[in-house]
Structure 1
């Protein structure tokens, strides 16, 4: 019995000597949280094509649409654009062709530089500091964006 107690005590003492952290020999990448790299994007939207009863309603909708278009352009620059294309052949003749593009991503920390009307369009200029976006990712949960969207631009 004393043998089992001594063995259990030795196991407890030795278990405290194990390494609990994993060591890695990989080379760390650049620290983007201190980056001063800034990317810019411009979004456009037609005022007259917007739904609305008055010109003011259409202008507000165009302002919001141009902001979303600028966010889409920022997403394309950061995450890339997924292209899906199909082509059909019928009796060795080119038939139906279709090309779709989509982008998925989360943009945090973008700033609107200017938003203004030009003729029948609304323009929004934005910029994004890559380091700021990386820091903001560390302080909040980024929800998974589905990789299959129904709406394509």
Structure 2
């Protein structure tokens, strides 16, 4: 699979377009805006969401969900590789520290493009599923930012454990 991100993300006019959209549309309503920015670094997020930016309120960044990428390129983001706790803590801490008092974090574990949080970051065995789900929810809600809860996440939903295509 080709990486199309350089062709579709962070174009040279993006800031101009976002400021114009904010000025002509968003600023007229009591709404909040969030941009999905897979390659964003904290400095980029501050550029888009800083208190004086007038572009977006927050961004979805992907640092924590792209840790320990799958070695099989055919599987891409559908990842079952274990994540090292120290790497996860560093990724989350980096964003918490960088945006503190200057921008706003969007907090999430998974979405329609990612593995279920309990299966990816916890232990989805019957013995530890509930405990893992509670740990992940507590971690998410104790950080600074707006938590996003993907459907089923509030129940500790896990990945489907299919063993054949017929299932």
TM superposition score normalised by structure 2: 0.21
Q: Could you say which structure has the greater relative contact order, defined with CA pairs below 8 angstroms and 6 or more residues apart?
A: 1
Identify the structure with the greater strand proportion. Answer: 1
TM-score by length of 1: 0.23
